Amino acid sequence: MKPSVTSHPASFALVLVTTVFAVDLCLPLGVASAVPYTFAVLVALRAKPGWVGPAVAVLCMGLTVLKLGIVPERGTTEMWKVIANRCLALFAISMTTLLGVLRRRAEERSRRHEADLARMGRLAVAGELATVLAHELNQPLAALCLQADIAAHLGGASATVTPDLTAALGEIAEQSHRAAEIVRSMRRTVRRAQPDHGPVDLNETVRAVVRLLDWSVRLAGVQVQLRLAEPLPPTHGDRVQLEQVAFNLLQNAIESIAARGAGPRTVLIETASEGATVLVRVRDTGTGLVHPERVFERFYTTKTDGMGLGLAISRSAAEAHGGRLSARSVEGGAEFTLALPVYREERS
Could you tell me if 109 and 202 lie in one domain?
Answer: no
265-279 pLDDT tens trace: 999 999 999 989 999
Asked if 299 and 119 touch (Cβ cutoff 8 Å), the reply is yes
Q: Does some domain include residue 347?
A: no
Q: E strands along the chain, which residues?
A: 198-200, 223-227, 235-237, 266-274, 277-284, 324-330, 333-341
Q: Which residues of the chain have pLDDT under 50?
A: 1-2, 348
Could you tell me if 45 and 149 lie in one domain?
Answer: yes
Phi, psi of 280 (to 5 degrees): -125, 120
What is the pLDDT at residue 124?
61
- In angstroms, the Cα distances linking 256 to 33, 75, 104, 227 are 56, 72, 36, 21
Asked if 345 and 234 touch (Cβ cutoff 8 Å), the reply is no
Measured CA to CA, the distance from residue 37 to residue 19 in angstroms comes to 10
Could you tell me if 147 and 208 lie in one domain?
Answer: no
185-240 pLDDT tens trace: 766 666 555 556 788 999 999 998 888 788 788 888 899 999 999 889 999 888 87
Q: What is the dihedral of CA 45, 48, 54, 56, to 10 degrees?
A: -80
Q: Does some domain include residue 243?
A: yes
Q: Does some domain include residue 291?
A: yes
How far apart are the two ends of the chain, measured CA to CA in Å? 83
Residue 181 burial (10 A CB sphere; 0-12, 13-18, 19+): middle
Could you tell me if 55 and 82 lie in one domain?
Answer: yes
Between CA 30 and CA 34, with CA 33 as vertex, the angle to 5 degrees is 115
Q: Total structural domains in the chain?
A: 2
What is the pLDDT at residue 341?
92
Could you tell me if 162 and 214 lie in one domain?
Answer: no
> % helix / strand / coil in the chain, to the nearest 5?
65, 15, 25
Final residue in a domain of this structure, among 168, 192, 216: 192
Final residue in a domain of this structure, among 192, 222, 249: 192
CATH number reported for the structural domain that contains residue 329 in this entry: 3.30.565.10
Could you tell me if 153 and 211 lie in one domain?
Answer: no
Beta strands 223-227 and 333-341 are unpaired
Could you tell me if 17 and 138 lie in one domain?
Answer: yes
pTM higher than the cut 0.85: no
What is the pLDDT at residue 1?
46
What is the pLDDT at residue 11?
86
Q: Does some domain include residue 5?
A: yes
What is the pLDDT at residue 272?
94
Beta strands 223-227 and 266-274 are parallel
What is the pLDDT at residue 348?
46
Could you tell me if 258 and 240 lie in one domain?
Answer: yes
Could you tell me if 29 and 108 lie in one domain?
Answer: yes
What is the pLDDT at residue 211?
83
Q: Does some domain include residue 348?
A: no
Final residue in a domain of this structure, among 192, 208, 229: 192
Domain of 322, in residue numbers: 197-341
Could you tell me if 121 and 182 lie in one domain?
Answer: yes
